[in-house]
Structure 1
Amino acid sequence: MSILDDLRDRGLIQQVTDEEGLEKHLNEDRVALYCGFDPTADSLHIGHLFPALMLKRFQEAGHRPIALVGGGTGMIGDPSGRNEERSLNEENVVKEWSNNIKDQLSKLIDFDDAKNGAVVVNNYDWLSQMSVIDLLRDVGKHFSVNYMLAKESVEARIEHGISFTEFTYMLLQSLDFLRLYQKENCTLQIGGSDQWGNITAGLELIRRSSQEGESAKAFGLTVPLVTKADGQKFGKTASGAIWLDEKKTSPYEFYQFWINTDDRDVIKFLKSFTFLPLEEISELEKSNTEHPEKREAHRKLAEEMTQMVHGKASLDQAVRISQALFNGDVKSLSKDEVALGFKDVPSFDLEESEKPLIDLLVEAKISSSKRQAREDIGNGAIYINDERQTDLQYNLDDKDKIDGAFTIIRRGKKKYFLIRH
């Protein structure tokens, strides 16, 4: 199966500039292709995984990926997919974020130069060396204002207003493609569907600037927008974006995001994000239909993605925390694992080494009053480290500490509270 056939079967192609020509090109040559990642934050999020893993798919098919970090374009701002101007960041901030993104991309794509020639480049290296006069004469001259206004990324912003700064972004991205075409023999640019206008503008610049002209062998391909069946934005949760940086989103939280995927989305996400054979995904789809309670597809998705981004050790820890919480075996967790698993639940700092349970329930606002606390205990609604406690005279002490640091109290079926010692 060709790489394009596999992408089609997985539903990963939105648009191609010349599908027949690209198919032939990929079959005949070892193609260099690139995708750009602007440093708009100090970390990539899972929305960036889609195009990054597309580079990896082409790499596994024998082609040469180039990951472009937009240290230069990131200082300008891409108007695509936005109704308002991006905030401009200081140069030192963009440089720091660029380095972070380069490190994250290096964990996803094999940049062993001796093996496949794959590289990470930063467009700051050439854009920062270019004068305004050079940009206007060498790039701007090839684009009419009418051509630029017709691009969706610009047209959609006209009503809301667009600065000249962001209006010129298309020129800079086009220059990136031309530069890589000339220096790296890069003949394919990929990106999200919102990048179609910028990609085709790059192809236009290559044809106008290169000796080959209209016969220049260069192509563009976009991937579809990732959507969720419930209408919510992909990659967002109640606590915010799902980041690739484990300091911003822990591997456990990352694992939980994927394992809690909507049943209607899980097979689509397996096709889009994992490298599992389609035959294996079909078997998981069958299991998901016949035995949805087993959640085999969800577990497989969470395992594949967590190991891919964070490694085997982090996956094992995420699974261990999840199983302990599901089985009521929280005492088996370390203090670090408790801190990860209960990061978002209400917490209370307990200074005393021993405390009557009724008093603790009130002070930690687990129960609204001592009367309510007695009712909660008497009714069997209070659990200490997942063990029901019905003794009204019970005192919390050292024996209730997990790894000497935490006690987990549950009221009812789902209301957890973390007691810090």
Structure 2
Amino acid sequence: MTAAAEAPLVSDAKRHVAVTSWKAPAIFALFTVLFALLPLFGPRDGVSTFRLVADASAVIRLPDLVLPSNPTAWVCVVLMAAATVAAAARARAHRPQPLWLITAYVVFLLLGFLAWASAGGTLPMIGLLSGALALATPLIFGALGGVIGERVGVVNIAIEAQLLAGAFSAALVGSLTGTPWLGLVAAMLSGLLVSLVLAVFAVTYFVNQIIVGVVLNVLVIGLTTFFYGTLLNPNSDTLNSPELFPRIAVPLLSEIPVIGPVLFDQTVVVYLMYAVVFVVWFGLYRTRWGLRLRAVGEHPQAADTVGISVIATRYANVMLAGAIAGMGGAFYTLVSNPQFGREMTAGAGFIALAALIFGKWDPIRATLAALLFGFATNLQGVLSVIGSPVPSQFMLMLPYVVTLFAVAGLVGRSRPPAASGQPYIKS
């Protein structure tokens, strides 16, 4: 069967229904007003310095970017207001909000907030962005796994379980074998195993997918906590001390100012993340595999009619999604931390789930959403170091506030795959 014969199963247009929504303009307006209160009632004197090099050994050295704190904040307020007006005009014209407009608004908000919060201090931009990428990497793997699972019709609430199982297995196997590569493979297999259990109950036995995912999260947390206390912790030198992946600087690319040290002086796991994002995006929209996957997630009866095995397609792709999420779990114990810790993923699977919803079940958008959440998480630590006046309690809740508003407002109105969460019973 040719791809052309299968094409009618999924519309050539985007899956998302362009419905008039005033959510984005409303959220834009709310954040613009709230942010304007900072320079209005809490003006900061002095300048903010943005350091654009990591150290003095950089081949290409850029001068520090010095901006007047309060004026910069007001300029950003004006730009945010302009973006709000543009969003309102598009909503009034029944046009969807483009990704570039949302991105521009977020950039204006972040620049203005950083300029206001860092008055009199110096922001190390390389460290801030590198830390954001590190925190976002497991979220991206988890979000991509969620995108594949939901696009094929299975709600993957068990991302947290797949990340945690991957982190545990990577630490254990990496310690036993002495090589992080086998630890990475073990993490993928663990994530695959968790997703296989999800597929068995959800696809074969028609159990509610949300319930199965929640139960798997609780089960894996319990199992890893038990084995950590009885196996890894008492034998940490031999069973919980994996070798970490080294950083590998890409020649020439790593010397590009600002983005070079952030994107191209990373570990193998991060480079694999770049590749996985591209492969999932390309495969989803440009290959027969992606066409069949989307057909099964949108209209499984029609897919079955033209000879696509719905059950086999769901099984295969749910397991693929679990393996990808498992790679994100490996990042915790093979890159960022040399030991496995109890519940060390700390709810990252649920943030990844929010990222894929914010990203409208699209790999690129979900990746950008995960990067935003990673940046918000890392920002709290950086601002506390430079002595920002923002209360530490607010900074601790910032990532979750961003998640809440992103899912509730900035995403606008969209719909998941039509058959997501629905068991397929062959008639």
Q: Does the pair score TM above 0.5?
A: no
The TM-score with structure 2 as length reference comes to 0.21
Greater share of strand: 1
- Bigger radius of gyration among the two: 1
Structure having greater relative contact order (Cα 8 Å, sep ≥ 6): 2
The TM-score with structure 1 as length reference comes to 0.21
